[in-house]
Amino acid sequence: MPRPRLLVVGGTGFIGRHVVHQAQALGWSVTTMSLGQSRGGEDVKHIAVDLTDRAAVSRALSSEGFEYVVNCGGYIDHRTFTDGGRALIDAHFIGVMHLVEALAREPLRGFVNVGSSDEYGGMPAPQREDVREAPISPYSLGKVAATHFLQMISRTEAFPATTLRLFLTYGPGQDMRRFLPQIIRGCLDGASFPVSAGEQLRDFCFVDDTIAAIFAALDRDEARGEVINVGSGSPISIRRMIELVRELVGRGAPRFGEIAYRAGENMRLYPDTTKAAALLGWAPRVPLDEGLRRTIESIRSAT
């Protein structure tokens, strides 16, 4: 029996690498696509291309056919439109259109686009998928535009797309410039470091649970054309999260209140996950303390 063929856009990034590893464990044939070089091993085909280059994407995929696509492409950046934000809209919206245009439709069974909780902007918590989004940056606008585009072609052309709106996914292999790895590194070093007052409520979902949601969505007809929140469903303050890391590591001195909140920051950003349970049969399984221990150990072992 032929192996399912999977394209992972952004397969060299944090979530993308975990998608690749899970697909390999399932025996799937995996191709990655990104600007960077492959990090998936010899048995993973890699396509180096810029998604914002329509002609290049078309050439790259002209002879390819995939049953499944997971789009983890793009990058988190909260710059304003006048400070170069157009590039973020291109990366997260225009790039998705180029990808959809270039993909062979006949073999395609499932397309999962990784969305962002930032699409909700300042909407009140717990955020539900049926509210009107309120993006506050070019990054979140690009994500919202991609979401609506995929819903439109799902309705009008039966394109098998699902948008998973991720909240804060964390775990081994995350970019060290992200919030949690920075806090862990500072505590492991026994450093004193500035942080915000930490009153924001956020949702942290371990990467294994996020990957399980992605693979559940790939093959669920009920999920086609839908937007589905993915998160732990258990909000925690940023301050308490930092304190938990410090307690688990046993050292570190965070200086609360020395970093200002981001302009327009939503102080209550955590999801209603009812829809994920109903449509995907999915629920998070990794408790926060276990996920944090595994993440801390991965960062400790990398040094």
Give pLDDT, residue 75: 87
Strand 161-166 and strand 227-230: pairing? parallel
Q: Does the pLDDT at position 284 exceed 70?
A: yes
pLDDT of residue 128: 98
Say which residues have a Cβ less than 8 Å from residue 288's Cβ, sequence separation at least 6: 204, 206, 232, 234, 236, 244
List the structure tokens of 147. 């979401």
Whether 38 has a pLDDT exceeding 80, the answer reads no
pLDDT reported for residue 130: 96
| pLDDT over threshold 90, residue 10 | yes
Question: Cβ distance 171 to 207 under 8 Å?
Answer: yes
As a whole number, mean pLDDT of residues 249-253 equals: 97
Query: Which residues fall within 8 angstroms of residue 132, CB to CB, at 6 or more apart?
Result: none
- pLDDT confidence tier of residue 43, bands split at 50, 70 and 90: confident
Question: Does the pLDDT at position 105 exceed 80?
Answer: yes
pLDDT on residue 40: 56
Q: For 222-236, what is each residue's pLDDT tens digit?
A: 999 999 999 999 999
Local confidence band at 242 (pLDDT 50, 70, 90 cut-offs): very high
Please give the model's pTM, rounded to 2 decimal places: 0.95
Q: Residue 264 — very low, low, confident or very high, per pLDDT cuts 50/70/90?
A: confident
Separation between Cα atoms, residue 48 and residue 89, nearest integer Å: 20
CA angle, 201 as apex, 197 and 206 as ends, to 5°? 115
Mean pLDDT calculated for residue range 288-292: 98
Strand pairing class (201-202; 236-237): antiparallel
Mind listing the pLDDT tens digit for each residue in 24-36? 999 999 999 998 7
* Percent of all residues in the chain with a pLDDT value above 70, rounded to a whole number: 97
**pLDDT (tens digit per residue) in 58-76:** 999 999 999 999 999 988 8
What value does the mean pLDDT of the chain take?
A: 95
Domain range list for the chain: 5-170+205-231+270-285
Instruction: Please tell us whether the domain made up of 5-170+205-231+270-285 is placed in CATH 3.40.50.720.
Output: yes
- pLDDT tens profile 161-209: 999 999 999 999 999 999 999 999 999 999 999 999 999 999 999 999 9
Quick check: 41 pLDDT over 80?
A: no
25: exposed, middle or buried (Cβ count in 10 Å: 0-12, 13-18, 19+): exposed
What are the Cα distances from residue 173, in Å, to 52, 83, 238, 280, 299?
A: 26, 30, 21, 26, 8
pLDDT bucket at 42, cuts 50 / 70 / 90: low
